[in-house]
Amino acid sequence: MIRNGEVLDRFERAYVQRSRPDYFRNLRIFEGLYTEAKRLGTIPPADPLEGIEVDIRLARVLNVRKTS
């Protein structure tokens, strides 16, 4: 049980600052997660276009440019 969350937060921030990114380790993690998702059947989706309307509507809202 964590009694002092602030101490943990300081430790985590210091740990992240000390550790350097490892591209190959991150790639292995990604590949492992991707393999697991394929085994569970979540990738690829049964219908790749499912939900495309929502994506298009969201893209239109986010990419609106104001004229000056």
* Residue boundaries of the structural domains of the chain: 5-62
Measured distance CA(46)–CA(43) in Å, rounded: 8
Q: What is the pLDDT of residues 11-63, one digit of tens each?
A: 999 998 998 889 999 999 999 999 999 999 888 888 889 889 999 999 998 98
Q: Are 35 and 29 in contact (CB under 8 A)?
A: no
- Share in percent of the chain as helix, strand, coil (round to 5): 65, 0, 35
Cα(34)–Cα(42) distance, integer angstroms:
10
- Average confidence (pLDDT) over 1-18: 90
CA 6 vs CA 14, 15, 16: distances in Å: 12, 14, 15
